[in-house]
């Protein structure tokens, strides 16, 4: 079914200098699908997302988006094609207000359902704080703004790098509760998480990375906790 | 009344220094690039204006219609073709490359225009004056120069905080990789910043060349004035840069009034005192 895959990552190798972070990693995402990538610290999850978003370029292998290779295309161009990354640690622009952060995301002018008004509807807290500088928000609100900023680009594929990192469980639950609304607009998601339970609940397909290799993959319902923890810890 | 007069003249020249400084501050703020060739680019703008005046028979201020876009285009090309390649985690490569550029511009101008000093003749407007108060006369040209400086600073402020381009400048300055993730081509954003910087340089260069004689070697001294105004005002604040320019201008005017030999010295001393007492400058940007 390669023709119905929105994203097809084919056997990529990625390096930081001499250090190899990914070894022949393959992954595919269909339109409207939520895929989770789990794994311990340093397993290569962020590297995989950066390679898909164009911040890193794999040494070998191929990444196809909507059937065409994105090789050599820089990050700003991939956003225009419909790949948006919510970076780990949120990384809002500190000298911009909340609304300006959202507007930056919308600058690519891709047509689609997401506008300032829709983002404020999804996260009403942001609307009240729209004129505050981004660092004035709490961690959870910053994460909402980071999600909103990426949605403003109206991506077809949204890459979420550890959106639960450093947030209170109740805040994480609130944010994850909004994901179905986002997916309902026809987006596909790749969620990178260290919180396995959260990932299992949100995603329909799981990939488990271990030291740069896919150690396990399968539909979320078919993987048992035991097989996952074996793949996660490599025991 | 004499001292009041001195201070008014100092304020007016301060506007010119603020324009020297604004372009420097803009470039450093957006891409952490210290442009050592800034002063020489000011002189280059003066020579381009000279050629436009001779070619079309217009006065210096009218020549800006051409000089500004030409300098902006040079800035865009310079950034895309050369300076973008020098940017990275290290501040040194752009410093060295712009230092080399400074030498190339000086010597290129020397070859083309010789070491003769020139001035841009602005005609009767140069000697027009009006009375501000009893005993205080202001030249029309310094007044125009100061008004233009105010407009440039206000324009930059609006551009930075009210337009999409300004938003892109600030976002890129904050976090380059994420700016790219948000669809900003940082190479283009940097080139736009350099184009804007050189457009301001064009205005500053023409006003400088109407005011005083110029030759290919005077660039570095203008760079120093620009640096001093930026540091006095505090990095990252456009109105601070204007204040820095005015403080430098007034210091020089007061120094010259005490003893003509003290003009530059007084400016440097005030700069050193502020650097020692308040190294972050008088009006630094509140860090967010």
Distance from CA of A156 to the nearest CA of B (A): 14
CATH number of the domain at A148, please. Answer: 3.40.50.300
With CB atoms and an 8 Å threshold, state whether A104 touches B171.
yes
Distance from CA of B171 to the nearest CA of A (A): 6
B174 closest CB neighbour out of A77, A93, A103: A93
Distance from CA of A55 to the nearest CA of B (A): 7
Q: What span, in angstroms and rounded, lies between the C-alpha atoms of B4 and A154?
A: 60
pLDDT band at B286 (very low <50, low <70, confident <90, very high): low
With CB atoms and an 8 Å threshold, state whether A95 touches B167.
no
HSE-up (13 A, CA, CB side) for residue B243: 15
Q: What span, in angstroms and rounded, lies between the C-alpha atoms of A77 and A192?
A: 22
With CB atoms and an 8 Å threshold, state whether B171 touches A76.
no
pLDDT at A70 over 60: yes
Contact yes or no for A155/A187 (Cβ under 8 A):
yes
pLDDT at A2 over 70: no
Average pLDDT over residues B190-199: 98
Residue B178: list chain A partners with CB under 8 A.
87, 91, 93
Q: Give the count of beta carbons closer than 10 Å to the beta carbon of residue A222.
A: 9
pLDDT band at A235 (very low <50, low <70, confident <90, very high): low
User: B186 at the A interface (CB within 8 A)?
Assistant: yes
- ipTM for this model: 0.90
- pLDDT on residue A221: 83
pLDDT band at B287 (very low <50, low <70, confident <90, very high): very low
Closest-CA residue of A relative to B174 is: A93
Identify the CA nearest to A53 among candidates B180, B48, B2. B180
Contact yes or no for A213/A45 (Cβ under 8 A):
no
With CB atoms and an 8 Å threshold, state whether A75 touches B174.
no
With CB atoms and an 8 Å threshold, state whether B182 touches A149.
yes
Q: How many Å is the Cα radius of gyration of chain B?
A: 19
Q: How far apart are the first and last CA of chain A?
A: 33
What percentage of chain B reaches a pLDDT higher than 70? 99
With CB atoms and an 8 Å threshold, state whether A95 touches B174.
yes
Maximum Cα–Cα distance for chain B, whole Å?
61
Q: What is the pLDDT of residues B18-73, one digit of tens each?
A: 999 999 999 999 999 999 999 999 999 999 999 999 999 999 999 999 999 999 99
- For testing contact with chain A, the best of B161, B176, B182, B186 (most A CBs within 10 A): B182
Q: What span, in angstroms and rounded, lies between the C-alpha atoms of B39 and B204?
A: 10
State which residues form the domain around A39.
2-233
With CB atoms and an 8 Å threshold, state whether B182 touches A79.
yes
Q: What span, in angstroms and rounded, lies between the C-alpha atoms of A60 and A9?
A: 11
pLDDT band at B235 (very low <50, low <70, confident <90, very high): confident
With CB atoms and an 8 Å threshold, state whether A53 touches B164.
no
B178 closest CB neighbour out of A74, A87, A108: A87
Q: Match 């923890």 to its residue by tokens.
A: A229
Among A201-205, A208-212, B132-136, B199-203, the range scoring the smallest mean pLDDT is: B132-136
Distance from CA of B158 to the nearest CA of A (A): 14
Residue B221 CA to chain centroid, in angstroms? 12
Q: Cα–Cα distances in Å, from A183 out to A105, A119, B182, B217?
A: 18, 14, 20, 63
pLDDT at A44 over 50: yes
Contact yes or no for A140/A105 (Cβ under 8 A):
no
User: B162 at the A interface (CB within 8 A)?
Assistant: no
pLDDT at A8 over 80: yes
Distance from CA of A84 to the nearest CA of B (A): 7
- pLDDT on residue B171: 96
Q: Which residues, including other chains, have CB under 8 Å from residue A226's CB and lie 6 or more apart?
A: none
**CA A175, A178, A183, A187 torsion: positive or negative?**
negative
Question: For chain A, how many structural domains are there in total?
Answer: 1
pLDDT at A131 over 70: yes
With CB atoms and an 8 Å threshold, state whether A153 touches B180.
no
Q: What span, in angstroms and rounded, lies between the C-alpha atoms of B164 and B20?
A: 25
The SS3 of residue B43 is: helix
A76 closest CB neighbour out of B164, B170, B180: B180
Q: What span, in angstroms and rounded, lies between the C-alpha atoms of B144 and B121?
A: 15
Mean per-residue pLDDT of chain B? 94
Q: What is the pLDDT of residues B135-147, one digit of tens each?
A: 888 999 999 999 9
- H or E stretch at A2: none
Burial of A128 (0-12, 13-18, 19+ CB in 10 A): exposed
What DSSP character marks residue A156? Answer: S
User: B175 at the A interface (CB within 8 A)?
Assistant: yes
HSE-up (13 A, CA, CB side) for residue A199: 28
pLDDT at A3 over 70: no
What percentage of chain A reaches a pLDDT higher than 70? 98
Tell me the DSSP string of B144-179: HHHHHHHHHHHHHHHHHHHSHHHHHHHHHHH-HHHH
A53 closest CB neighbour out of B164, B175, B181: B181
Distance from CA of B182 to the nearest CA of A (A): 5
């Amino acid at each position: 079914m390669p023709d119905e895959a929105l994203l097809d990552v084919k056997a990529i190798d990625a390096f930081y200098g001499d250090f190899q972070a990914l070894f022949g990693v393959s992954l595919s995402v269909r339109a409207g699908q939520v895929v989770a990538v789990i794994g311990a610290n340093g397993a290569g999850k962020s590297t995989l997302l950066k390679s898909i978003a164009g911040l890193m370029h794999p040494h070998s292998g191929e990444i196809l988006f909507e059937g065409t290779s994105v090789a050599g295309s820089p990050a700003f161009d991939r956003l225009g094609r419909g790949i948006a990354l919510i970076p780990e640690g949120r990384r809002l622009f500190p000298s911009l207000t909340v609304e300006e952060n959202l507007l930056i995301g919308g600058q690519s002018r891709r047509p689609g359902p997401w506008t300032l008004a829709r983002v404020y509807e999804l996260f009403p807290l942001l609307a009240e704080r729209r004129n505050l500088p981004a660092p004035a928000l709490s961690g959870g609100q910053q994460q909402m703004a980071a999600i909103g900023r990426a949605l403003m680009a109206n991506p077809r594929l949204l890459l979420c790098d550890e959106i639960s990192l450093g947030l209170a469980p109740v805040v994480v639950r609130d944010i994850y509760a909004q994901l179905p609304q986002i997916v309902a607009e026809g987006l596909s998601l790749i969620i990178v998480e260290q919180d396995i339970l959260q990932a299992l609940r949100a995603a329909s397909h799981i990939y488990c990375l271990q030291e740069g290799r896919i150690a396990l993959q399968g539909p979320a319902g078919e993987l048992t906790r035991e097989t996952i923890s074996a793949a996660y810890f490599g025991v | 009344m004499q001292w009041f007069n001195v201070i008014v003249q100092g304020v007016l020249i301060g506007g010119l220094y603020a324009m020297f400084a604004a372009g420097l501050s803009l470039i450093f703020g957006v891409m952490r690039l210290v442009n050592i060739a800034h002063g020489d680019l000011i002189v280059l703008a003066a020579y381009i204006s000279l050629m436009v005046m001779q070619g079309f028979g217009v006065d210096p201020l009218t020549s800006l219609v051409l000089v500004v876009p030409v300098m902006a285009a040079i800035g865009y090309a310079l950034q895309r073709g050369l300076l973008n390649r020098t940017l990275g985690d290290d501040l040194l490569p752009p410093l060295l490359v712009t230092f080399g550029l400074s030498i190339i511009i000086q010597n290129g101008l020397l070859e083309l225009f010789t070491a003769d000093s020139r001035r841009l003749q602005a005609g009767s407007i140069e000697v027009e004056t009006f009375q501000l108060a009893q005993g205080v006369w202001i030249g029309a040209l310094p007044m125009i120069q100061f008004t233009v400086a105010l407009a440039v600073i206000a324009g930059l402020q609006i551009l930075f905080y009210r337009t999409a381009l300004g938003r892109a400048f600030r976002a890129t300055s904050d976090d380059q990789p994420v700016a790219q993730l948000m669809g900003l081509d940082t190479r283009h954003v940097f080139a736009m910043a350099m184009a804007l910087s050189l457009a301001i340089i064009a205005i500053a260069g023409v006003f400088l060349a109407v005011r005083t004689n110029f030759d290919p070697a005077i660039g570095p001294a203008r760079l120093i004035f620009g640096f001093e105004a930026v540091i006095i005002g505090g990095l990252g604040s456009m109105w601070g840069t204007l204040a820095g320019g005015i403080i430098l201008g007034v210091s020089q005017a007061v120094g010259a009034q005490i003893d003509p030999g003290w003009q530059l010295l007084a400016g440097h001393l005030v700069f050193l005192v502020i650097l020692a007492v308040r190294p972050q400058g008088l009006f630094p940007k509140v860090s967010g």
